[in-house]
């Protein structure tokens, strides 16, 4: 894994730091478990819906054919897993100890952000691998593989969007909860979730009816993913550095009308 995935020292250090913190910190495990728990609850509603329709209809027509409820399960879980990890990254583990990271920082700080991204990719990828045998038994290996690639591409795109302008080592920056507009963020996240999970599941069911549609979508999704990576690399300024202190909103805000 170090030779193929975590080839740079700062990537390996950040990846290990994220994993060890999540394993050892009860606070961060609880925060992440709350997000993942909501995802499992919503996925369970989808499974119950499938069983309700199975009672009313023939078993083979419900479970043995791709439907929105089953297609949405990995999307629901990956959304709450990735967004939950993004949230817990902002909660400091031991703020007084971040001087170690500040002293060790150099011009290759972007590798730390890369390690954080890979730490988010691994659990999402593991989730898709665990669900693949189930879909292969239900729908065959080809449809299951198309579903795996579809969910993987969406997860990678979501990860890039969640970590846009992310310039922190996870768990090392102070947190200012008052800066977040809860109502606005709640509406935004709900719209993003319904689009990512349920709308994409409906789209995928339509795509699976024709192999050409799947190929066209995969090419388009790869182009979007590559564009996000290119945008991140071109907009990241070398003169910037990692953030260790989240600035609070000023007590007095001016209108900026001065000349």
The length of the chain is 259
Identify which of 172, 142, 159 has the alpha carbon closest to the alpha carbon of residue 18: 172
Which among 122, 121, 136, 120 is positioned nearest to 70, based on CA atoms? 136
Q: Which two tokens stand for residue 227?
A: 């564009």
Per-residue pLDDT of the chain (259 residues; tens, 9 = 90+): 777 888 888 889 899 999 999 999 999 999 999 999 999 999 988 888 777 766 555 666 667 778 888 899 999 999 999 999 998 998 888 888 888 888 877 777 788 888 999 999 999 999 999 999 999 998 889 999 999 999 999 999 999 999 888 888 899 888 766 555 556 667 788 889 999 999 999 999 999 888 899 999 999 999 999 999 888 877 755 557 777 877 665 555 555 565 5
Say if CB 112 and CB 14 are below 8 A apart: yes
In the block, which residue shows the tokens 């993987």? Answer: 152
Residue 24 CA to residue 188 CA, distance in Å, equals 32
Q: What is the pLDDT of residue 22?
A: 92
Nearest to 243 by CA among 174, 170, 168, 191: 168
Q: What is d(CA 131, CA 128) in angstroms, rounded to the nearest whole number? A: 5
DSSP for 42-69 reads HHHHHHHHHHHHHHHS-HHHHHSS--HH
Measured CA distances, 229 to 58, 134, 156 (Å): 46, 32, 10
**Whole-number Å distance between alpha carbons of 141 and 139:** 7
Distance CA(211)–CA(146), nearest Å, equals 9
- The token pair at 137 is 């038994």
What region, left, alpha or beta, does residue 165 occupy, with left being phi > 0 and alpha being psi -120 to 50 degrees? left
């Amino acid at each position: 894994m170090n030779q193929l995935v975590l080839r740079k020292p700062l990537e390996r250090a950040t990846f290990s730091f994220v994993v060890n913190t999540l394993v050892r910190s009860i606070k961060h495990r609880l925060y992440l478990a709350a997000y993942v728990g909501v995802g499992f609850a919503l996925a369970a509603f989808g499974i119950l819906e499938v069983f309700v329709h199975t009672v009313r209809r023939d078993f083979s027509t419900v479970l043995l054919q791709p439907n929105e409820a089953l297609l949405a399960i990995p999307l629901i879980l990956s959304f709450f897993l990735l967004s939950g990890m993004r949230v817990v990254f902002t909660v400091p583990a031991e703020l007084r100890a971040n001087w170690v990271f500040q002293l060790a920082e150099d011009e290759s700080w972007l590798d730390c952000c890369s390690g954080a991204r890979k730490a988010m990719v691994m659990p999402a990828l593991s989730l898709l691998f665990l669900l693949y045998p189930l879909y292969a038994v239900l729908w065959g290996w080809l449809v299951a593989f198309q579903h795996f690639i579809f969910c993987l591409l969406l997860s990678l795109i979501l990860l890039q969007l969640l970590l846009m302008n992310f310039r922190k080592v996870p768990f090392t920056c102070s947190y200012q909860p008052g800066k977040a507009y809860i109502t606005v963020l709640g509406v935004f996240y709900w719209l993003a979730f319904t689009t990512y999970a349920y709308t994409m599941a409906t789209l995928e069911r339509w795509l699976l009816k024709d192999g050409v549609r799947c190929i066209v979508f995969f090419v388009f999704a790869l182009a979007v993913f590559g564009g996000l990576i290119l945008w991140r690399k071109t907009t990241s300024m070398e003169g910037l550095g990692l953030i260790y202190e989240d600035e609070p909103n000023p007590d007095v805000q001016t209108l900026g009308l001065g000349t």
